[in-house]
A and B are shown apart, each in its own frame.
Chain A
């Protein structure tokens, strides 16, 4: 590498380290950027399509943002009050649910201890309860920070996303200009592959989760189950986590079906439980048979063991958020390694 290339590499690395430090230090900046990238992935095909039809890049970028803001306003005026109402109702029923849940778990615990011939109780529920309290305590303690961060994120992420969509290429070209000649093509190729794979993956998973959420909302509404909005949103968010997500998403609804008298008033406990299970099963069948093969499977080609290990590592590091971002991060690492390995081979002396 010649002197100019070395200077360029030092400049680029310094810039990257500074940018990374800023992302870590400034509150909400990293989350804003991630959310902006998600919005960018979601909107870029629409913006490209509008541009293909003769609109300027800036006008084409403004259109999905206008519709996005409209959707947010509609969500805030129509869906949010409904969700808050359902949340209040669920909170009001929470003590009764908790009591029944405790009774049921204690009964199971006693029967297990009895069948195993244990003299001391397993104390499973107490342990679970203290874990749950710890988690909820952590959430409520961090709530003010989360709210202030959310406001920053809500303001910054659309701004970043608009800039990325309208002028992102200029920015990436300016960064690429600093890449030394020997690594230029590899870096450009890697950026392109990451754009395709991660952009496609993010779009596919969001659409997939949206479809699952809508199926569950329709299904639960059809059987007259309460809390449809919050349960379908929870299922859609949980569905972003591969393999275990659908199970996590179904647990609250199944628990309500078992222990809430309000939910089981029409069909009875066993029928309600069966119907709720059927709704979640239909959503998963539609997802597995139609949505995943069409949207997701062809985009990210990771070995199932890699997927599971990534989710476990993600969960250990960042909890639920870590589980959601585990697969895109694992895919990015795979792509980067695929790009670096041939580079190290070709850099051997000839």
Chain B
């Protein structure tokens, strides 16, 4: 079974910033001039091995697209009743071409629901709410195209989540409720 966070939108990698952006599902509808405009809007960031890109519970305002390197996504369990910190649960590992944190682009609460840590020297492209807002202000058609693709990605993530929840519910039912035949045999 694929991990929930595994990126199904990953595409083949290129060298330049423009080609990486163009290959990403969010920006695939943009023209060459729009991609050039986008290049001036995004932020290039470099992370050392084991350096957090963001931590769960921090304010987050956008997504990261991996240019090179590896990023591990993990979720911290809720704090235990004795007050000790919850365990870090590995969710997935993302590679060049993958993106994460896209929910923060549209979410109002702005708090990260997972942590992202660079597992090796990693370069990422940051695309944040202010950048999207700037595009919508200056090039609304281009902004709408990005938003449409973003809605598609978020919809697909939601569908995947619903499927996983259904699977888990069914598995839970199997564990907690014994089959009809077994129930019939009970005295």
Cα distance A127–B44 when bound, in Å? 63
Cα distance A176–B55 when bound, in Å? 20
Cβ-Cβ contact count across A and B, 8 Å cutoff:
64
Chain A residue at smallest Cβ distance from B131: A188
Is A185 engaged at the interface, CB distance under 8 Å to the other chain? Answer: yes
Task: Tell me the count of chain A residues lying within 8 A, CB to CB, of chain B.
Answer: 25
Q: Taking the nearest CB of chain B, how far is it from the CB of A120, in angstroms? A: 63
B43 adjacent to A173 (CB under 8 Å) = yes
Cα distance A192–B62 when bound, in Å? 13
A4 adjacent to B76 (CB under 8 Å) = no
Is A145 engaged at the interface, CB distance under 8 Å to the other chain? Answer: no
Q: Which of chain A's residues have a CB closer than 8 A to the CB of B134?
A: 169
A189 adjacent to B51 (CB under 8 Å) = no
Q: Which of chain A's residues have a CB closer than 8 A to the CB of B59?
A: 185-186, 189, 339, 342-343, 346
Q: Which of chain B's residues have a CB closer than 8 A to the CB of A189?
A: 59, 61, 110, 128-130
Cα distance A52–B62 when bound, in Å? 24
Cα distance A169–B59 when bound, in Å? 23
Q: Using an 8 Å CB-CB cutoff, how does the interface string of B54-82 with A read, 1 for contact, 0 for none?
A: 11011111100000000000001000000
Is B19 engaged at the interface, CB distance under 8 Å to the other chain? Answer: no
Q: A185-B54, A185-B62, A189-B59 are in contact. Are A170 and B40 (CB under 8 A)?
A: yes
B60 adjacent to A185 (CB under 8 Å) = yes
B137-145, B154-162, B174-182: which one contacts chain A? B137-145
Interface residues, chain A, with chain B CB atoms under 8 Å away: 2, 4, 48, 51-52, 169-170, 173, 176-177, 181-182, 184-186, 188-189, 191-192, 195, 339, 342-343, 346, 350
List, sorted by A's number, 7 A–B pairs whose CB atoms are closer than 8 Å. Answer: A177-B44, A181-B47, A181-B53, A184-B45, A184-B126, A192-B129, A195-B130
